Structure formats: structure tokens, C-alpha cells
């Protein structure tokens, strides 16, 4: 799953820095599906739902997310300080230094207090709104919302009903940047965990493992191209259908990847998987440094900013991951055991 996580993070980078339609939100929802699956997996098979298990789970999640994030945030703060708030804000509207204690607290804690955290500013690392959502669902999964098939199916049903309600009363779509609408992908990920054996047998029986990858990529291309090639009346319909297909394919693909994970190159799977988190967190920071090098904060040279920003992001992500996260990993293993 490591290579898959890295490719999803790369899709987010391409979406943000090259303005390629659809692929970023689709990747984020795929991340949510994957998180629902993995968090349910480790609660069921590693930690359990006792107070001790929940404490170990919470500490492990904290150690995975926050130390490397704080280092990356410090580098981002230095970059913003170097170029100035006006330039960083021109580069991304949410990317500027906080002015109040509560704004600093939100940026340090990854908790942007809103049901739509994507709307909260400043976010010095702009993509971190999704981590507020991740933390919320880490909590409720830890508290047992997906502890059984019955509870998980109930969660999925409530999520589907809320999504239908949203579409009937607000606007058509699966929503983006909101906690309550993110419930659907997280619950789907949890559900396929409980039915992973049945899904695996069906994939094997129908021999559709490779087709899942093709379907995922094809759906991504269709969603991305439709906004440019189709008229507005048709493009939103294609986009809506593609977003639903993205959730369904992501859920089944997650199970398939879980089954074939051991057959992939363990070294590259691990390296790229570990890089996915810092790349996701820091890519705007890396791009800001690239923009400073070329003195172009309007992103008119988007290809150049993307290329240099991605290289900077990968280098810094690697250094942080293997000088910070790797040292903490030993502690995480002791806590897990």
C-alpha cells in the first residue's frame, strides 16, 4: 500500500501546483477510504478497544503525525518569513503567519475548529485541513464506531443518508473539505475491512485484480478531462458519477492492495509509503521555496515551480522522514507491542 499512498500524495501535488482538475479531491477521498480500512484493522488486530489499547493507539498516531509535521512546519515558517506574508499569501491565500494564539494553536495541533476545516485560515501548510478530518475519524474509530460489522454497517447507512440529504438540500456532489461528508469514505473503508475475505474471494474468482488499477486510472482521467472537454451541463454529471465510482473502486482496490502488499518490492513500498505523509504535508512549502528561487509568487511559471518544488519537497521529506520519523519508529514499535 506504500506505493499507492505515495501516488495519491503525488496526485494531490499535481492537482495543487498544476491545477489538473479532479485528481486531488479524488486522491483525498481515496486516502480517507484507506484510513478507514487501516485504522479499523489496527484497532481490531493490534490494539483492541480497552483503555490501554486506546491509549497505545492514540500515542502511536501522535508519534506518526506530529514530530515530522512540526519539523516540516518549522521549515515552512522559515520560508514564509523569508519571502514575507504578502508573497506567501499571493502564492496561496491561506499560507501566512498566524497573528493570534488560537491561530498558532490550530496550526500546531492540526485542529482547525470547523465542520469545514478547509475554510479556516491561516494554514501555513495549506493541505493540513484534511488532517483535522483524519484526526476526528481516528478518534471515533478508536472509540469503536467500526468495531463490529453491525456498527460499521450502521455507520455506512447513516453516512449514505446524510450524503443524500446534503445533495437534496445543498448541492450535488460528495462535498470536499467537510467533516460530515468525509464520513462516507471513512465508513466504506471500515466496511470493506470487515468483508475483506469475501471481497478477496470475489476478486480472485473474477480475476479482476489488474482491472481495478485500470478502472481507477481510467476513472481519474475521465473526471479530469470532462471539465475541459464537455459542456458544463454534462461535465458536472460525469464528475458526480466519477466521484462515486472513485469511492467504490478505492474501497475494493484497498482490499486488493492489502492482499498483494507482500508480493511488492518491500524496500520501495516502504520508502515511498513513508514519504507520502511528508510530501502531502510539505508540498506547498517546497513550492514556495521554488517560487522564491524564481521570484514568481503568481505561479505563472507553474511547470517550473511544480518541477523544482517537487524536487525540494522530496529532498526535505526524505531528510525529515529518515532523520526524525525513523528514530521515532522504534518507540512506536515498543508502544505497539
Task: Report pLDDT digits (tens) over 44-71.
Answer: 999 999 999 999 999 999 999 999 999 9
Report pTM.
Answer: 0.95
Task: Give long-range contacts, CB 8 A cutoff, 24+ apart: 308-311.
Answer: 309/17, 309/283, 310/13, 310/17, 310/283, 310/286, 311/286
Whether the per-residue pLDDT at 262 is higher than 70: the answer is: no
Using DSSP, state whether 86 is helix, strand or coil: helix
Using DSSP, state whether 283 is helix, strand or coil: helix
For the stretch 100-144, pLDDT in tens is 999 999 999 999 999 999 999 999 999 999 999 999 999 999 999
d(CA 320, CA 164) in angstroms, rounded, equals 42
Amino acid at each position: 500500500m506504500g506505493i499507492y499512498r505515495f501516488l495519491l500524495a503525488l496526485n494531490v501535488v499535481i492537482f495543487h501546483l498544476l491545477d489538473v482538475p479532479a485528481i486531488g479531491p479524488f486522491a483525498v477521498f481515496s486516502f480517507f477510504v484507506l484510513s478507514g480500512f487501516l485504522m479499523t484493522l489496527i484497532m481490531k488486530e493490534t490494539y483492541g478497544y480497552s483503555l490501554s489499547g486506546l491509549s497505545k493507539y492514540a500515542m502511536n498516531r501522535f508519534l506518526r503525525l506530529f514530530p515530522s509535521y512540526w519539523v516540516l512546519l518549522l521549515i515552512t515558517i522559515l520560508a514564509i518569513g523569508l519571502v514575507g506574508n504578502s508573497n506567501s499569501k499571493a502564492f496561496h491565500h491561506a499560507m501566512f503567519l498566524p497573528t493570534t494564539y488560537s491561530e498558532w494553536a490550530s496550526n500546531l495541533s492540526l485542529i482547525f475548529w470547523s465542520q469545514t476545516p478547509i475554510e479556516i485560515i491561516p494554514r501555513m501548510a495549506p493541505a493540513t485541513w484534511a488532517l483535522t478530518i483524519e484526526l476526528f475519524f481516528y478518534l471515533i474509530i478508536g472509540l469503536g464506531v467500526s468495531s463490529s460489522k453491525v456498527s460499521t454497517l450502521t455507520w455506512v447507512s447513516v453516512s449514505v443518508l446524510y450524503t443524500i440529504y446534503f445533495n437534496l438540500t445543498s448541492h450535488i456532489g460528495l462535498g470536499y473539505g467537510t467533516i460530515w461528508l468525509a464520513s462516507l469514505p471513512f465508513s466504506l473503508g471500515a466496511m470493506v475491512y470487515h468483508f475483506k475475505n469475501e471481497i478477496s474471494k470475489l476478486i480472485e474468482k473474477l480475476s479482476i485484480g489488474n482491472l481495478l488499477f485500470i478502472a481507477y486510472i481510467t476513472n481519474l482521467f475521465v473526471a479530469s478531462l470532462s471539465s475541459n472537454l464537455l459542456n458544463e451541463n454534462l461535465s458536472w454529471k460525469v464528475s458526480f458519477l466519477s466521484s462515486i465510482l472513485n469511492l467504490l473502486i478505492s474501497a475494493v482496490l484497498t482490499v486488493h492492495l492489502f492482499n498483494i502488499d507482500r508480493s511488492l518490492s518491500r524496500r520501495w513500498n516502504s520508502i515511498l509509503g513513508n514519504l507520502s505523509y511528508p510530501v502531502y504535508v510539505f508540498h506547498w512549502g517546497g513550492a514556495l521555496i521554488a517560487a522564491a528561487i524564481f521570484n514568481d509568487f503568481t505561479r505563472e511559471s507553474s511547470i517550473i515551480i511544480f518541477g523544482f518544488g517537487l524536487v525540494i519537497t522530496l529532498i526535505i521529506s526524505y531528510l525529515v522522514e529518515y532523520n526524525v520519523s525513523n528514530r521515532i519508529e522504534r518507540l512506536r514499535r515498543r508502544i505497539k507491542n
